[in-house]
Amino acid sequence: MKSNPVVMGIETSCDETGVGIVRGHELLADAVASSVDEHARFGGVVPEVASRAHLEAMVPTVQRALDDAGLTLADLDGIAVTAGPGLAGALMVGVGAAKAYSLATGVPLYGVNHLSAHIAVDTLENGPIPEPAIGLLVSGGHSSIMMVEDLAGKVTQLGASIDDAAGEAFDKVARLLGLPFPGGPYIDKAAKEGDRAFVRFPRGLTAAKDMEKHRYDFSFSGLKTAVARWIEAQRAEGNNVPVNDVAAAFQEAVCDVLTQKAILAAKEHGVGTILLGGGVAANSRLRTLAVERAEDAGITLRYPRPKLCTDNGAMVAALGSHLVSAGVAPSVIDFPANSSMDVEVVSLANRL
330 binds, among Zn ion, ligand KG4, none (CB under 5 to 8 A by kind): none
DSSP conformation letters of 271-301 = --EEEEESGGGG-HHHHHHHHHHHHHHT-EE
Q: Which residues ranging from 165 to 224 are in contact with ligand KG4 (CB under 6 A)?
A: 167, 170-171, 182-185, 188
**Candidates 95-103, 136-144, 156-164, 325-333; binding stretch for ligand KG4 (CB under 6 A):** 136-144
The answer to the question of residue 164 lying near ligand KG4 (CB under 6 A) is no
Distance (Å, whole) CA 204 – CA 161: 10
**Candidates 43-51, 134-142, 218-226, 328-336; binding stretch for Zn ion (CB under 5 A):** 134-142
CB closer to Zn ion out of 116 and 177: 116
Q: What are phi and psi of 80, to 5 degrees?
A: -115, 145
- The alpha helices in the chain, defined as continuous H runs, are 36-40, 47-69, 88-105, 114-120, 122-126, 166-176, 183-191, 208-213, 221-236, 243-268, 284-297, 306-309, 314-325
The answer to the question of residue 11 lying near Zn ion (CB under 5 A) is no
Among 84, 308, 311, 313, binds Zn ion (CB under 5 A): 311
Task: Count residues binding ligand KG4 (CB under 6 A).
Answer: 19
335 binds, among Zn ion, ligand KG4, none (CB under 5 to 8 A by kind): none
CB closer to Zn ion out of 51 and 139: 139
Which of the 8 DSSP states describes residue 218? Answer: B
The answer to the question of residue 278 lying near ligand KG4 (CB under 6 A) is yes
**Candidates 41-49, 51-59, 105-113, 137-145; binding stretch for ligand KG4 (CB under 6 A):** 137-145
Which residue in the shown chain puts its C-beta closest to Zn ion? 139
Of 123, 100, 81, 94, nearest to 12 (Cα)? 94
Which of the 8 DSSP states describes residue 74? Answer: G
Burial of 39 (0-12, 13-18, 19+ CB in 10 A): buried
CB of 290 to Zn ion, least distance (A): 18
Q: Which residues bind ligand KG4 (CB under 6 A)?
A: 14, 139-141, 167, 170-171, 182-185, 188, 278-280, 282-283, 310-311
